[in-house]
Amino acid sequence: MTLNLAIPSQLMTALGPDLLLMGGAMLLLLWSAWRPESEAHQRQIGIASIILCVSVVLAIGFYVAQGDTAGNGVIAMDNFRWSADLVFLIATIATIALSMDYNARQGITAGESHVLLLFATSGMMTLAAARDLMIVFLGIEIMSVAVYVLAGLNRRSERSAEGAIKYFLLGAFSTAFLLYGIALVYGATGTTNLADIGSRVRELALAGNTFLVVGVALLLVGFGFKVAAVPFHMWAPDVYEGAPTPTTAYMAAAVKAAAFAAFLRVWVEAFPGLGESWHGPVWWLAAVTMVVGNLVALAQKNIKRMLAYSSIAHAGYILVAIAIGTPAATGAFMFYLLAYTLATFGAFGVIVAQGDAGENLDIDGYSGLWHVQPKTAIAMAIFMLALLGFPIFGGIGFLAKYWIIQSALQAPNPQTILAVILVVTSVISAGYYLYVVMVMFMRPRKADAYVPPPVGAWTRVVVASAAVLIIVLGILPNSVVRWTDRSKPAMEERASTAALPAPGPAAASAP
């Protein structure tokens, strides 16, 4: 059945999972505020939040089984939306599970921390569903306001407060770029609907329109801030270091995934005819982000800052898929988001497990972990190898990078240089990922070394689940590959961009 989104009841039907999550979050907010703060109460809110997320997953399954569509309305009903929603919900469940143990150790007793995650996730789901620039803006604001608060939730930490204010100021700054970009695109095309923008660019020959080109440039800057691409990454290391560790994992994986989901849909649905205007900037953005993220990560001794720069590098890898813009690349995009999310939450789960009230963030503090907690050391090694893209234990990470490289080489105009940069920077990343493994397995444990507290039950579940899924999906990836290959936004082959040479040295030798 095709839904008519001009009818309010059918629009509400299209937004069913999003509204279920928002409505449940509002009820949990009332319950959280009704009783005094306590560790037991925040755990109750956390468990109820996980149950709500599972309910939303079941609702999404019902929609997928129904096979409803929504034409070219403001809300998408495609597999790309549902796949992205599942990634967001997996990340949210993992964050809540980690937070219940982390909050108890850090003395954070506010149950609202879990509710804020639900509101942020509802904004992400709105982003994944948006086929209109105004809905994109609405989703970003719902997500961002909640995450601003989450970043500064630990009121006892000066670093948390510093990170939160930086995130708020630069986030508001990037939102202004997005809003001005939307205004200029609307001024040039007379619409904010993505499909209508794409058709009017072709029909009215607007590819050279100054308003439109400047609007696309501002949108690129705004999305660059949201995904922490170089040179718009300045906020990420300080915010990731200062935020509560589960929130850092959420920002590094879920928030980035949501921004990329909106980024990809806007680019392939609204601007396929503007390849000459944006292909070069996105190409360079991907290349510089991969290089800078990996090189700076090599110098980091704080594990959260190292993973922050690692996430910047991974943003560059994902930008490669957007720069290619072919159907194969968009399939690789969703597979990469899933692989990256699993590995990221596993790694941050180990950081939560190894922390104390002051947190244990020095990489050298993991020396000899194999001798005291061998299971935790093995799990961390799996996550580091997955992020590296090692083809055995990190098989799903290897397949994710391989798929993007293959898409780059098999594009109508092969992006060979971009693929080479991806490979070279992945080799560079071995310097910091394998350093963590070396420290855990090859360095002796100091006699006065910090003894990690017993790992909480919820943290154990997250770490073990992530490790098992990475191994299983790396060995038996076929079902996930088929699922992600069907998870593509509506798009057409871009004849204009397909004919473009890659920026840089290849341009001189291109026919």
Residue-wise pLDDT for 323-375, tens only, equals: 887 677 777 778 888 888 999 999 999 988 887 655 567 888 888 888 888 88
Model confidence at 508: pLDDT above 60: no
Instruction: Please choose, from the candidates 281, 271, 267, 133, the residue with its C-alpha nearest in 3D space to the C-alpha of residue 202.
Output: 271
Looking up tokens 């607007």, which residue turns up? 206
The token pair at 205 is 């020959």
Model confidence at 121: pLDDT above 90: yes
Residue-wise pLDDT for 387-438, tens only, equals: 888 876 666 777 778 888 888 888 777 788 888 999 999 899 999 999 999 9
Phi–psi pair at 301, nearest 5 degrees: -105, -15
Output the pLDDT for position 54: 95
Looking up tokens 């920026």, which residue turns up? 503
Residue-wise pLDDT for 451-495, tens only, equals: 777 778 888 999 999 999 988 888 877 777 777 777 667 654 443
Classify the C-alpha dihedral 178-183-185-190 as positive or negative: positive
Q: What is the DSSP string of 169-187?
A: HHHHHHHHHHHHHHHHHHH
**Average pLDDT value for residue range 21-25:** 94
**3-state class of 333 per DSSP?**
helix
Residue-wise pLDDT for 363-393, tens only, equals: 888 888 888 888 888 999 999 998 888 876 6
Model confidence at 504: pLDDT above 80: no
Residue-wise pLDDT for 61-77, tens only, equals: 888 888 767 767 788 88
Distance between terminal CA atoms of the chain?
47
Q: What kind and span of H or E run contains 423? A: helix 416-442
Could you give the CA distance from residue 271 to residue 279 in angstroms, rounded to a whole number? 10
Model confidence at 116: pLDDT above 90: yes
Instruction: Please choose, from the candidates 97, 90, 89, 69, the residue with its C-alpha nearest in 3D space to the C-alpha of residue 13.
Output: 69
Helices (H), 130-235: 133-151, 158-189, 194-203, 210-226
Q: Is the peptide bond before 231 cis (omega within 30 degrees of 0)?
A: yes
Phi–psi pair at 302, nearest 5 degrees: -90, 125
- CB neighbour list of residue 243: distance below 8 Å, 6 or more residues apart: 150, 151, 152, 153, 154, 160, 163, 164, 251
Output the pLDDT for position 494: 42
Classify the C-alpha dihedral 449-105-57-340 as positive or negative: negative
Q: How many CB atoms are located within 10 Å of the residue 195 CB?
A: 18
Q: What does the H/E/C string look like for 345-403?
A: HHHHHHHHHHCCCCCCCEHHHHCCHHHHCHHHHHHHHHHHHHHHCCCCCCHHHHHHHHH
Instruction: Please choose, from the candidates 15, 30, 319, the residue with its C-alpha nearest in 3D space to the C-alpha of residue 139.
Output: 15
